[in-house]
Chain A
Amino acid sequence: MNGSRETDSPILLAEAVSKAYGEQLGCVDISFELWPGEVLAIVGESGSGKTTLLNCLSAQLMPDRGSARYHRRNDGLRDIYAMSEAERRFLMRTDWAFVHQNPRDGLRMNVSAGANVGERLMAVGARHYGDIRARAVDWMEKVEVDTSRIDHFPRTFSGGMQQRLQIARNLVTGPRLVFMDEPTGGLDVSVQARLLDLIRGLVTRLQLSVIIVTHDLAVARLLAHRMMVMRDGRVVEQGLTDQVLDDPQHAYTQLLVSSVLQA
């Protein structure tokens, strides 16, 4: 069974990705491989370039230099920056998903919860109303949002519910690569624990590849197989999550680890 999980190609291969905002450094010379089923956390304090990097990797921002090759289902590794705009938009609707820190950026607040989930399906060609609604209900159950609220607007939901709905909307189309930017930021601790638990379960069950940005080392410990520590736009250390957290080599990583109670 392991054979089906391990292919001989990374799903994403980033090489020397760099992006500056004028004089201001965004991210510098970032290289790594992401393999199918792997969860990679990008950690570092605010302003260290995590979100810039994530936006470059998900082609929402064009880097100044570097390449990011994505393994498409049918034609192998292709540089996403060399694709046409239409090809990239297609990837974003099908193979990729992006979970934003603020549900406002990932949901439409004034259409119903069911339509928020159904919309992604329609974008990939689903037409049958009954099917779409059934799959929306199914996903609302998977993310533990009360299905009797399928016709309510997300703006009437709590922060945790909105975030779970955003995840349903993103995963309903069966993506292979999910980008997450601080998905648990701004939530109460108990709500956060429940959301992390949900994400952890889905990632394992669906064998998703995930790149998650977080400043919370406990989130990285819980979800990520590997992590990358960023400072001033550069990666100062990367490796297995438990190795980086338990035996940090770089002065900055040691500072981060020693600054939290227990990660």
Chain B
Amino acid sequence: MLQAEGLAKTFTLHLKDGLRLPVLSDMSFTVTSDEAVALTGPSGSGKSTLMRMLYANYRCDAGVLNVRHQGDWVNLADASARMVRTVRRETIGYVSQFLRVIPRVPTLQVVAEPLIERGAEEGHASRRASELLERLNIPAKLWDLSPVTFSGGEQQRVNIARGFAAPYPILLLDEPTASLDAENRQVVINMICEARDAGTAIVGIFHDTPARNAVCTREIDLAEKAAA
């Protein structure tokens, strides 16, 4: 589903006299469907950076990042903005570490949005959104409110619900179980395993070792790959 070949990333901080921060170099790996791959390595080793590159949120300085999109391979490292948007809508889901809240948009709509963007009918989209929110134990009385005032754990569960609303062939998860209590952590782990078993290719960052062991079939250790 995903083939990375020679990916590299160096941040150039122009406001600090052009200071260069090499983070990743020569990263090559593949991820097939029904695999769940954990990115591991110490803090600062570039796990989130790589994950953002896989979502084209960060640019790749070098390399090829082929993604299986509607039967074709698309190289996200040099795809047009328009192509990236299509790939994000149809093929790659991303659950970021923190929910980016848009003021005034109710929770149910935040979760249903990815389906609406794909052209799903509104009733169907909100039914699916309610199912997910229910499963993730977000009380129904909160669904009409914007998540702005929610607790960290509640926001993270809304974020997960949103990430799982549409059936993406590839799912990127940046610490999805952080800031969750034991019960909700188990719900999320179950959801990830179900997606994996249904053929979704998963790439995740899990600081929580039991969660990682429950979900992941393989690890990619960034410490070994750290840039020189």
Contact = CB atoms under 8 A, between A and B. Distances in A.
| A, B: real partners | yes
Interface band, chain A: 20 to 34
A247 B104 contact: no
B14 A197 contact: no
B15 A255 contact: yes
A5 B104 contact: no
Contacts, number: 49
B59 A222 contact: no
Interface stretch (A16-24, A41-49, A120-128, A237-245): A237-245
Nearest to B100: A221
A247 B57 contact: yes
Nearest to A197: B104
Interface residues of B, number: 22
Interface string A48-78: 0000000000000000000000000000000
B59 A249 contact: yes
A6 B52 CA distance: 26
A251 B15 contact: yes
Given A240-B84, A243-B58, A222 B15 contact: no
Interface string A1-37: 1100110000000000000000000000000000100
Nearest to A226: B81
Nearest to A194: B104
A243 B79 CA distance: 13
A243 B85 CA distance: 12
B103 A243 contact: no
A70 B82 CA distance: 18
Contacts of B118: 1-2
Contacts of A35: 82
A246 B58 contact: yes
Contact of B57 (A204, A222, A243): A243
Interface in B44-69: 52, 56-59
Interface string B83-113: 0111000100000000000111100000000
Interface of B: 12-15, 52, 56-59, 81-82, 84-86, 90, 102-105, 116, 118-119
